[in-house]
Structure 1
């Protein structure tokens, strides 16, 4: 369940509409934004005092408007419906109160169902997990498909130096498995795993496109193209945020 759907259901259950909700929380100027959110015209609303007040008035955690799994859980709690079946694996984040533990995606151990990955270089140690609060996620991670799809990847290899270093933490969304726009992706071709910038480039002689694979360290790792139809290509996830380390 996405945020707009939850918002719409909550309004209906409370007998409210965007205008009456804005009045109830004494923020009449928020009516237009509430109306657009209810209609699904805004998928990730800006975190604001009005939205915080609306969530409190409706009796839900404001972060449920940003996370599908939490939205479903909150609606089950309020409506009295059975909660959605648990699909969380050992590699999914665990949630306890306001704390979220984001665990590693084991690139060397082959958590991907297609088998163990061969990397351009082994990472210098592994980041096993991160513990954050939900507010940190909302303020530092702009959007993601679901909380259950977030995981930590430990940076490896020299090809992306300049963006991150081997051993640095990378936050990945495993729910993104296709390249709709340029970004940093973790993908595999056969048995080999890569973290690179992928860019959609129009084909020279046709209406389709190829994926241009770009390293940050272009001097040692020049760009090359790969077909998105390559049967050996699998997009594991999209890198949302990286933290580049500096040694002092």
Structure 2
């Protein structure tokens, strides 16, 4: 690959990242937004986006840290996109191996399930398993269905067995509640353009009422409990990229200093909200490398609180 091809390949990877982070489309503000975020010149950013240059190593490191992707992948296209992509891909392969299927057989089962023979290819399955595909095609929920594992296990490594569909299940250990897992990836950084209340249910996670009462006593009602996946690093220290977050959807307004899921300017965020004595509402990232954002009076009138984060479910491999 010559230098021109390397630059174009880099721009493809960078734009793919920005597509999943809620940035404006190319030619419609992406260049300006990226330049402002990193305090860079628009000319330099345009050259990155158009495949005319590759950033210096310090800028590459900043981009990889901000967007939580591996710098080797961002720079050269080598290796998995991120640790999270590698983990999810590894579980897809683990489930495929348990079935005794080849990559081609999994692709065939996915094609049969979706009727899509154009997008789903063996190469796509291989890319997903190696953590080198930015987005799943088809949806990861289809992989879970075909492989007969729970979606929550593919995403987090927890809850391997496919969840029961009943809202409440009686077991030897007492009442179990099926908490809805939504497909939204709520951003702890740049913001993602998704509406939580219109989001679709993709699985349920069975949790005992006793556990909820002990660990999530602040929830307004068990019926209001939902789970979403946190995305980004701006809330590090409180919870991390890829953590499953418990959200009390019964909270629809700012009531105290707490972490909320909120819609600001059509973007979905997970941020701490705090009211200053002068009445200014701050949107705060718990990661100290991010500055608080002052929500101006006009934005305050359109700000929508979609829920309060009351806990997280974190898994880290050893």
TM-score (norm 1): 0.51
Aligned residues: 141
Give the C-alpha shift of residue 139 in structure 1: 1.1
- Contact 1:165–1:245 under 8 Å retained in 2: no
Residue 17 of structure 1: aligned partner: none
- Contact 2:182–2:202 under 8 Å retained in 1: no
| CA deviation vs aligned residue, 1:50-90 (integer Å, no higher than 9, x gap) | xxxxxxxxxxxxxxxxxxxxxxxxxxxxxxxxxxxxxxxxx
**Alignment match of 2:217 (pick from 142, 159, 184):** 142
Give the C-alpha shift of residue 102 in structure 1: 0.4
Give secondary structure in 1 for the equivalent of 2:280.
strand
Give the C-alpha shift of residue 181 in structure 1: 0.9
Give the C-alpha shift of residue 158 in structure 1: 1.6
**Alignment match of 1:112 (pick from 197, 215, 222):** 197
Q: In structure 1, what is the Cα distance between the partners aligned to 2:230 and 2:297? A: 24
Residue 22 of structure 2: aligned partner: none
Give secondary structure in 2 for the equivalent of 1:202.
coil
Give the C-alpha shift of residue 143 in structure 1: 2.4
Residue 224 of structure 1: aligned partner: 293
- Contact 2:195–2:268 under 8 Å retained in 1: no
Q: Which runs of 5+ in 1 are unaligned?
A: 1-92, 117-125, 204-208
Q: In structure 1, what is the Cα distance between the partners aligned to 2:202 and 2:250? A: 21
1:161 aligns with 2:236: yes
Q: In structure 1, what is the Cα distance between the partners aligned to 2:202 and 2:313? A: 13
Q: In structure 1, what is the Cα distance between the partners aligned to 2:184 and 2:296? A: 23
| CA deviation vs aligned residue, 1:163-221 (integer Å, no higher than 9, x gap) | 22221111000011111111111101122111011112122xxxxx22211112221x2
Residue 81 of structure 1: aligned partner: none
Give the C-alpha shift of residue 131 in structure 1: 0.8
Cα RMSD after superposing both structures: 2.8
- Contact 2:183–2:202 under 8 Å retained in 1: no
TM-score (norm 2): 0.40
Give the C-alpha shift of residue 244 in structure 1: 3.8
Residue 306 of structure 2: aligned partner: 236
Q: In structure 2, what is the Cα distance between the partners aligned to 1:169 and 1:244? A: 6
Give secondary structure in 1 for the equivalent of 2:252.
coil
Give the C-alpha shift of residue 146 in structure 1: 1.6
Higher RCO (CA < 8 A, seq sep 6+): 1
Give the C-alpha shift of residue 238 in structure 1: 0.2
- Contact 2:196–2:306 under 8 Å retained in 1: no
Q: Which runs of 5+ in 2 are unaligned?
A: 1-165, 186-193
| CA deviation vs aligned residue, 1:82-131 (integer Å, no higher than 9, x gap) | xxxxxxxxxxx922331101012332564424x89xxxxxxxxx984321
